Amino acid sequence: MGFFEKVSKFSSGLNKTRSAIVQRIQTIVSKKTKIDDEVLEQVEQALLEADVGAETTSIILENIRQRVKMEGYDDTDSLLSLIKDEVSMILQLDAPVPASLSEIPVEQKPYVIMVVGVNGSGKTTTIGKLAYQYRQDGYRVIIGAADTFRAAANEQLEIWAKRAGVEVIKQKQGSDPAAVAHDALSSAISKKADVVIIDTAGRLHTNASLIEELKKIKRVLGKKLEGAPHEVLLVLDATTGQNGLQQLKVFNDAVQVTGIVLTKLDGTAKGGIVLAIAHQRAVPVKFIGIGEGIDDLQLFDREAFVEALFEGTKYSA
């Protein structure tokens, strides 16, 4: 997918967030000619309501105040351009974007992905979409159904696996999740599969037994295959906003999350959470979900995100 195709795809998924931030700021700008404290207070409110977060919002506004003072920007026509610059800085546009969603290191096969997240975050659908992308790129994929706690979890996973055209390794409800993960990886090794995706239980992230269960799964995978899991993806529901940051802290402390999948971005005006996560710098957003289709999981291209967010304004590049 080319850059402008990405921008178009992202744009459709950011309609609500664009309305909450960019279009609202345009309305503010239309009523004032000078950048003053009143204007910046309204901008602050817009950013906070889009879940950019208090700390990130404070930094954006402080940098804008400094540029207004040092560089002579004072009319509101410059405001969106300044905000776009700050958003770009926070998202670090020089971060590399893989050529393919399913790009994996040649030397790491089977490539083991452990997927964590609370129930309702879109974890099962994310696994199905990931499996589909890998399958489309010619990889042999096996899914390990290690969410043995939730009723109907296996059935839901099997529906997505069937759509993706991949195999599922499962046991009955209540089985040891780590044993399922071990079986899935063992099967992948014996069958020379390329990718193993391990589903995990998604009870409340404050549940101590769940956290210990996740740690055990990770240990078992590492004992079976050195270096596994190669990726630990945390699925966050974008509509939860700032609560997602607390989920990130708990899961990251437990199993060292390597990447975030931000789902349901098309259904919320709280897409500013992307900036709050980026500002923390702890774990990168790697994928975003901007639709319900099986091919609607997208690599998070930071530059395309910024252009899509500001698309339709006279300030966008």
Distance CA 122, CA 50 (A): 21
- Region 75-94: what's the mean pLDDT? 88
Do 281 and 176 share a domain, yes or no?
yes
Q: Please calculate the CA angle 159-160-164 and round it to the nearest 5 degrees.
A: 120
239 & 163 share domain: yes
CATH number of 155's domain: 3.40.50.300
Are 39 and 124 found together in one domain?
no
Same domain, 163 and 52: no
Q: Residue 187 is part of which domain span?
A: 111-300
pLDDT value, residue 316: 43
Is 131 found in the same domain as 233?
A: yes
Statement to judge: residues 244 and 207 lie in one domain: yes
Residues 90, 128 within the same domain: no
pLDDT digits (tens, 9 = 90+) for 256-304: 999 999 999 888 888 899 999 998 877 899 999 988 888 889 889 999 9
For residue 22, give the nearest of 84, 106, 112, 76 by alpha carbon.
Answer: 84
What is the domain count for the chain? 2
DSSP helix/strand/coil, 314 = coil
Q: What Cα–Cα distance (Å) separates residue 63 from each residue in 11, 83, 167, 215?
A: 26, 9, 51, 41
**Burial class of 37 by CB neighbour count within 10 A (0 to 12, 13 to 18, 19+):** exposed
Q: What is the pLDDT of residues 182-197, one digit of tens each?
A: 999 999 999 999 999 9
pTM: 0.91
Residues 235 and 287 in one domain: yes
Least confident of 53-67, 181-195, 239-253: 239-253
CATH of the domain at 25: 1.20.120.140
Q: Considering the domain boundaries, does residue 129 fall inside one? A: yes
